[in-house]
Homo-oligomer: A and B are copies of this chain.
Amino acid sequence: MARLRVAFLGPLASFSHQAAAEAFGKISASLLPQLSFADAFVALQNQEVDYAVIPCENSTNGSVVQTLDLLADRNDDYKDVKVCGEYYLTVHHCLLVHKGSYPSGWSGYDGSITKLYTHPQAWGQCEGVLSKYFKGVERQDVSSTSKGAEIVAKEPTEKSAAIASRFAAEYHGVDVLKENIEDRADNTTRFLILRNVLAARTAELDLGQPKATASDEQPNTHKTLISFSIDHASPGALASALLIFKQHGLNLTTINTRPSLKRAWQYIFFVECGRTLSEENMDAVVNALQDLQNVTESCRDLGTWKDQLSAQTA
- Chain A residues with CB under 8 Å of chain B are 58-63, 65, 120, 139-141, 184, 186, 188, 190, 217, 219-220, 233, 235-236, 238-239, 242-243, 245-246, 251-259, 261, 264-265, 267, 269, 274, 309, 313
Contacts and interface: CB of A to CB of B under 8 A. Distances in A.
Copies in the complex: 2
B265 A309 contact: yes
Contacts of A184: 261
A245 B184 CA distance: 34
Contact of A188 (B120, B238, B261, B264): B264
B259 A61 contact: yes
Given A62-B259, A184-B261, A267 B254 contact: yes
Contacts of A252: 236, 238-239, 242
A217 B233 contact: yes
Given A62-B258, A184-B261, A243-B243, 5 more contacts: A60-B261, A61-B259, A141-B141, A255-B257, A265-B309
A220 to B, nearest CB: 7
A62 B140 contact: no
5 contacts: A120-B120, A242-B252, A254-B267, A255-B269, A257-B257
A243 B255 CA distance: 14
Contacts of A253: 238
A281 to B, nearest CB: 13
A186 B261 CA distance: 10
Choose among A233, A261, A274 the residue with the greatest number of B CB atoms under 10 Å from its CB.
Answer: A261
Contact of A251 (B59, B186, B235, B246): B235
